[in-house]
Chain A
Amino acid sequence: MIADNIVHFARVLRGAGLGLGPDRVLAALAAVELVGLQRRDDVHAALSAVMLERHEQQPLFDAAFDTFWRDPKLREQMMTLRLPKISGRGEEQGPPRANRLAEALSALKAPEPPNPAHPTAKEELQFDTHFSFSDRERLQKADFETMTTAEYELAKKLAEQMPLPVDPVRRRRHEPAASARDGGRLNLRATLQRMARQPHTLTPLYMRPREETPALVVLLDISGSMDRYSRLMLHYVHGLMRRALKVHTLTFGTRLTNITRCLKERDPDVALRLADEQVQDWKGGTRIASSLEEFNRLWARRLLGANAALLLVTDGLDRDEHGDLSAAAAQLHRLAHRVVWLNPLLRYEGFQAKASGVRALLPHVDRFLPVHNLASLADLGAALRSAPVAPQSLLH
């Protein structure tokens, strides 16, 4: 009887998005057997110890536990009513993969050349109205166009070949080195193992610290003035994630949203659609200072460990009366191994740091990547290849 209930309970939790394998169900049975059924809180504690793996799951679990162990008949309703659906796979309604699918289908009928039309043409018309900032909170959706085939191919190529905005860092793990000359140290253990195999030779083996690309955290400004570039940058970040790098992505406009999980989806169109659903403040105002403060407080220590680098994508146009941008940026600089600032809003060569937000940010970045006329992924690639600008030189 109790076994049946636990199995049902596990199924309810699984429906709500918890990853519960049969091994956990067995462990749950054993756990309940051990603590007994005398006290409700013991059963609760036992089941949560066995079934949870993250603190965030606790409220969901509590809600499910309360309802389930009161009246099992409620569980049908609960599954539909009380628990938020976290599944996010979206198999039910066919995702609109319009452009590439339509292209693929039409290619069967008439071999039209893929239309690398300006995806930003429509937006450019509205650009003047969007090129303004405010800290009014305006909640809206982005409605990204799906990718054309040409874009898709280009994005894939760029993600694989484009230089990374961050340099590799030296780790404390070792890799084999050819000789002592390129920074190698004698690896006694490996040398001896080699000797055991070939007793009459002595071939010293060397090792040196391994260099790795650090984890990358992308902070993406999605406010109105950055609207033209959000889609492009999201495609770029998605490409980086596909390249098996550790990338965490957060967007900010008037609020900070972590969209890392959305971008884990393999298909770029699905990934962007999921991100669009999750983020509430597309094309709204900008609160850079408060967003950076919030990031420092809630996320920095979780994401910026192990020499992680931070890529800040923003135009630096801030209208935030509540926060101190300079202090927030300074703290961010202390928390991250490297801060790289990619500023896409420079459409002329003689850039001068005039805006107060830009002046506040510049002293606290290690590398400044100005992008002139960013209209496509190819432009972004060119920018990443160009020589970095020393942030200090722009301040005078």
Chain B
Amino acid sequence: MSLTLPESVDAVIELLAAENYVCDRQLATALFLSLKLRRPLFLEGAPGVGKTELAKTLARALNTQLLRVQCYEGLDVAQTAYEWNVARQMIEIRLAEAVHDTDREALTRNLYSRQMLIERPLLQALTQTRSPVLLIDELDRADEPFDAFLLEVLAENQLTIPEYGTVVAAEPPITLITSNRTREIHDALKRRCLYHWVGFPSVERELDIVRLKAPGASERLYRQVVEFVQRMRTLDLFKSPGVAETIDWTHALVALNTLQLDPASVQDTLGVLLKHQDDLVKMQNGDTAKLLDELRAKALL
């Protein structure tokens, strides 16, 4: 049973919008091509701009399974692709011994059969009857040997298990890879993917996102929040707040029954937006007041 994929860029935008994901046309085009050309989509960008969310939304919208590989250093085949069930293999040998089974051929075949394989996300992605969405999250956190291991899965949609053979996907997965760029991913891997840089959204788009994701505030507050955060991103901060932080901040302000931004409410909730102490100090030393003055000048306050 295969998926019904959107037929145009506009259809992709609609599909995601139905699941409350606001997406610009450029990202939609990249995603559309990735679905059509059956190529993995490599998403790079600052944390909190909706890279992981895109994969989750896509799985929901296409009504299919989401398989996720969260990367970290030292990740290996046993944790991501497959593992032999060694304990069960041992028992199998012991049983063969107990009944004096001497057919070694059959025993070996049995030991390295499909039932002895523990499937991890990458192998699962190849064995589904319905194309899943495979999310390889924060690939930059894994070390380089893992990039090389992914090449076969990404390019050929297959996985070679030395003791068993090659598993080829009947229904190839829809693969999305995200990276925060804490290191450069090898060109060999990028070559096999489509590339898209997810930047910060424009004011209007961010307004749309916040309205959808953090309902309950007034239109006036939404605009203040978004303008404030957008202006913050132009400051020399160690870590600019992402869209995720804007949404969290709106939630926080709504929870505190804030009707409009003022120095006190901003000061109290700044920890939602900024997670670096240096940035907090910088904002507290006058930048908050300056930004609020700017908002007032724009007649937003």
A interface residue numbers (CB < 8 A to B): 19, 21, 23-24, 27, 30-31, 34-35, 41-42, 44-46, 48-50, 52-55, 58, 171-173, 188-189, 192-193, 195-196, 199, 296-297, 301-303, 305-306, 327, 331
A35 contacts which of B29, B73, B194 (Cβ < 8 Å)? B29
Which residue in chain B gives the minimum CB-CB distance to A55?
Answer: B197
Residues of B within 8 A of A35 (CB): 9, 29, 32-33
Which 10 A-B pairs rank lowest in CB-CB distance, beginning with the nearest? A172-B74, A45-B29, A49-B30, A45-B26, A53-B190, A188-B86, A55-B197, A49-B194, A305-B182, A52-B195
- A331 to B239 CA separation, bound complex (whole angstroms): 14
Sampled A-B contacts (24; CB under 8 Å): A27-B39, A34-B32, A34-B36, A41-B26, A42-B25, A42-B29, A45-B26, A46-B30, A49-B30, A49-B34, A50-B194, A52-B195, A53-B190, A172-B73, A173-B145, A189-B86, A192-B90, A196-B108, A301-B182, A303-B183, A305-B183, A306-B73, A306-B143, A327-B278
Which residue in chain B gives the minimum CB-CB distance to A30?
Answer: B37
A34 and B187 contact, CB distance less than 8 A: no
- A54 to B181 CA separation, bound complex (whole angstroms): 10
- A34 to B38 CA separation, bound complex (whole angstroms): 12
Which residue in chain A gives the minimum CB-CB distance to B24?
Answer: A45
**Interface presence of B227 (CB below 8 A):** no
Residues of A within 8 A of B145 (CB): 173
A295 to chain B, nearest CB (A): 12
B143 and A34 contact, CB distance less than 8 A: no
A173 and B33 contact, CB distance less than 8 A: no
**Interface presence of B119 (CB below 8 A):** no
Residues of A within 8 A of B200 (CB): none
A21 and B191 contact, CB distance less than 8 A: yes
Query: Is chain B's binding surface mostly helix, strand, loop or mixed?
Result: helix
**Interface presence of B76 (CB below 8 A):** yes
- A48 to B104 CA separation, bound complex (whole angstroms): 56
Residues of B within 8 A of A44 (CB): 26
Which residue in chain B gives the minimum CB-CB distance to A246?
Answer: B144
B33 to chain A, nearest CB (A): 5
Of A23, A199, A305, the most chain B CB neighbours within 10 A belong to: A305
Query: Is chain A's binding surface mostly helix, strand, loop or mixed?
Result: helix
Residues of B within 8 A of A192 (CB): 84, 86, 89-90
B9 and A27 contact, CB distance less than 8 A: no
Residues of A within 8 A of B164 (CB): none
Given contacts A189-B84, A331-B278, contact A27 B29 (CB under 8 A): no
Chain B contacts with A in 124-148, Cβ cutoff 8 A: 140-141, 143, 145
One digit per residue, 1 when the CB lies within 8 angstroms of any chain A CB and 0 when it does not, for chain B 167-204 equals 00000000000000111100100110011110000000
Which residue in chain A gives the minimum CB-CB distance to B7?
Answer: A34
A53 and B191 contact, CB distance less than 8 A: yes
Chain B contacts with A in 5-57, Cβ cutoff 8 A: 9, 25-26, 29-30, 32-34, 36-37, 39, 41, 44
**Interface presence of B59 (CB below 8 A):** no
B181 contacts which of A23, A24, A58, A302 (Cβ < 8 Å)? A302
A105 to chain B, nearest CB (A): 39
Residues of B within 8 A of A172 (CB): 73-74
- A302 to B181 CA separation, bound complex (whole angstroms): 6
A46 and B236 contact, CB distance less than 8 A: no
**Interface presence of B111 (CB below 8 A):** yes
B74 and A171 contact, CB distance less than 8 A: yes
A42 and B197 contact, CB distance less than 8 A: no
- A343 to B47 CA separation, bound complex (whole angstroms): 37
A42 and B183 contact, CB distance less than 8 A: no
Residues of A within 8 A of B76 (CB): 173
B124 to chain A, nearest CB (A): 20
A34 and B33 contact, CB distance less than 8 A: yes
B196 and A49 contact, CB distance less than 8 A: yes
- A193 to B141 CA separation, bound complex (whole angstroms): 31
Which residue in chain A gives the minimum CB-CB distance to B193?
Answer: A53
B194 and A297 contact, CB distance less than 8 A: no
Given contacts A19-B187, A192-B90, contact A46 B29 (CB under 8 A): yes
Residues of B within 8 A of A50 (CB): 33, 194
Which residue in chain B gives the minimum CB-CB distance to A197?
Answer: B108
Residues of A within 8 A of B73 (CB): 171-172, 306
Residues of B within 8 A of A21 (CB): 191
A41 and B140 contact, CB distance less than 8 A: no
Residues of A within 8 A of B37 (CB): 27, 30-31, 34
Of A27, A55, A297, the most chain B CB neighbours within 10 A belong to: A55
- A58 to B184 CA separation, bound complex (whole angstroms): 16
Residues of B within 8 A of A54 (CB): 184, 195
Residues of A within 8 A of B41 (CB): 49
B140 and A305 contact, CB distance less than 8 A: yes
Given contacts A305-B182, A306-B73, contact A297 B190 (CB under 8 A): no
- A48 to B41 CA separation, bound complex (whole angstroms): 12
Which residue in chain A gives the minimum CB-CB distance to B236?
Answer: A297
Residues of A within 8 A of B187 (CB): 19, 53
B183 and A302 contact, CB distance less than 8 A: yes
- A331 to B279 CA separation, bound complex (whole angstroms): 12
Residues of A within 8 A of B9 (CB): 35, 42
Residues of A within 8 A of B25 (CB): 41-42, 45
- A189 to B78 CA separation, bound complex (whole angstroms): 10
